[in-house]
Amino acid sequence: MSTSKRNQNERADEAGQQEQQAAAEFQDLDLETLDLEVEAVDERISPSETNVFDK
C-alpha cells in the first residue's frame, strides 16, 4: 500500500472514530425538542453612541 493510500485510510479511520464518538455522546439529541434559538448580537456599536462630525 502506498504511503498516501495508507494516510487516506488512517484519516478515514480517524473520521470514523470521531463519528462514532460523537454518536455515542450525542445520540440523545432529539432535534424536535431542542431549543435551537440563535441570537445574533449585532449593532453592538450604535451610531447613537457617536457624533462623528463633531469628532
Partner 1 sequence: MSFPITLIFPPQGHFTQPYLALPCIKAWLNERGFGDVDMLDLSIEAYDHFLTPEYLTYARDRARRHGRAQLETQGPLPFDRMRAWRSAVESELTADALIESIDDAKAVLRGEACFEPDRYIPAVKALYQGLRLVSAAHFPSELTPHNFTMRYANDRSREVLAATQDREENPFLAYFETQILPRLLERRPRVVGLSVIYGSQLIPALTLGRLIRQHLPECHVTAGGGFLAYIGKKLMHAPGVAECLDSMIFYEGERPLEELCRALEAGESDLSLIGSLTWFDRRGGGLQTVENPPGHPVHLNQAPMPDFDGLPFEKYFSPALVLPYDINRGCYYGECAFCTLPTVIGPGYRTRAAETIAGHVLQLRDRYRTTHFNFITDCMPPGMIKDLPDALIANRAGITWWSDARVEPKAYDAEGARLLFEAGCRKLLFGFETATPRLLKMMKKGQSLRSVTQVVQNCADAGISVTLYAMVGFPSETREEARATLRYIEESVPAVREVSLQTFHIDEVALTYREPERFGIRILDDPEADLQLYHDYESEVGMTQAEAAEMFEEMMQGLANALPIFSGDSIFYFMQKSHYFLHLARGMHPDRFAELAQARAAARTQPKPTGDLEVRPGLVARELGHSYQRVLRTLHDPLARAARPDFLTGRFVGAAEELAARELPDAPAESRWLLYEAGVGEFVELRPDGYRLLEAIRRAGSLGRWLRTQKAPGERGAAALRMFTQELYLLGVLVPAATGPLPDVLLPRPEGRPAGAPSDLPSRTH
Chain residues in the site for partner 1 (CB under 8 A): 15, 18-23, 25-27, 29-32, 34-55
Task: Choose among 28, 31, 27: nearest CA to 19.
Answer: 27
Q: Which residue reads 440563535 in cell numbers?
A: 38
Nearer to partner 1, 1 or 23 (CB): 23
| CB 26, min distance to partner 1, A | 4
Nearer to partner 1, 1 or 4 (CB): 4
CA distance 5 to 13: 12
CA distance 20 to 27: 10
Nearer to partner 1, 1 or 53 (CB): 53
